């Protein structure tokens, strides 16, 4: 567990609190972490306990209760519309977040953004970064075309599969 710092766990808990996820179970480098927004949740039991595993963290309380009844799932397009205030441009393809984390438009603070609206991109053009616990995941366009909409603000928390950028595919 030498690569995981207490600050990393704190950031992960803060990110978890910002999502609509109800529970998160993570095991990495001997650390077994279980977070839940349900105070009555029970930690899942591992199939075979490791001999030298670290004790798991206690369930994290929810940052704020939104109400007792929450919808099970929302369509991704509706979430994107709610966050951006507009429907996705017609004839575009969404580039979606590969994981939960913080969205960055540029490789480092103060640097030029990877892409801008109206810019042509190829399948392998890097368009943004998603960061969680100091692990940066580069995101490629995945399609050749023109960037038509950037749905997320720089530094904003995103959830897995959330639309990040809409690209109009080249013909």
Say how far apart CA 78 and CA 80 lie, in whole Å. 5
What mean pLDDT, rounded, does the chain reach? 76
Would the pLDDT of 115 be above 70?
Answer: yes
Cα–Cα distances in angstroms (integers) from residue 150 to residues 51, 68, 113, 118, 154, in the given order: 47, 33, 11, 10, 10
What would the two tokens of residue 32 be? 């077994």
Q: Please state which of the ranges 35-39, 111-115, 122-126 shows the lowest mean pLDDT.
A: 35-39
**Mean pLDDT across the stretch 141-147?**
95
The pLDDT value given to residue 122: 96
Residue identified by tokens 């030498």 is: 2
| Dist. CA 77–CA 88, nearest whole Å | 8
Q: Specify which residues 1 forms β-bridges with.
A: none
Delineate the domains of the chain, giving CATH numbers in brackets: 1-41+54-64 (no CATH), 76-169 (2.40.50.100)
Percent of the chain clearing pLDDT 90 (strictly above): 37
pLDDT at 39: 73
Residues 45, 43: Cα–Cα separation, whole Å: 6
Q: Is residue 105 classed exposed, middle or buried when 0-12, 13-18 and 19+ CB atoms within 10 A define those classes?
A: buried
CA distance readout (Å), 159 to 6, 31, 164: 23, 23, 10
Q: How confident is the model over 60-98, as pLDDT tens digits?
A: 444 333 333 333 333 344 444 444 445 788 899 999 999
Q: What DSSP letter does each residue of 21-54 carry, written as one string?
A: -SEEEEEETTEEEEEES-TT--PPPPSS--TTPP
Q: 68 or 117, which is more confident?
A: 117
The Cα 58–Cα 121 span in angstroms is: 45
- pLDDT bucket at 55, cuts 50 / 70 / 90: very low
Q: 3-class secondary structure for 116-144?
A: CCCCEECCCCEEEEEEECCEEEEEECCCC
Q: Structure pTM?
A: 0.54
């Amino acid at each position: 567990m030498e690569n995981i710092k207490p600050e990393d766990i704190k950031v992960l808990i803060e990110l978890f609190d910002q999502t609509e996820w109800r529970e998160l179970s993570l095991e990495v480098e001997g650390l077994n972490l279980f977070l839940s927004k349900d105070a009555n949740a029970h930690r899942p039991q591992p199939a075979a306990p490791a001999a030298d595993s670290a004790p798991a963290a206690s369930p994290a309380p929810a940052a704020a209760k939104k109400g007792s009844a929450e919808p099970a799932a929302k369509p991704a397009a509706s979430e994107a519309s709610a966050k951006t205030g507009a429907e996705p441009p017609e004839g575009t393809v969404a580039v979606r977040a590969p994981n939960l984390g913080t969205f960055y438009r540029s490789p480092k603070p103060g640097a030029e953004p990877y892409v801008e609206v109206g810019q042509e991109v190829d399948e392998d053009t890097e368009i943004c970064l998603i960061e969680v616990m100091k692990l940066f995941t580069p995101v490629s366009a995945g399609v050749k075309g023109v960037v038509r909409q950037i749905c997320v603000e720089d530094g904003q928390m995103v959830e897995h599969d959330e639309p990040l950028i809409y690209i109009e595919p080249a013909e």
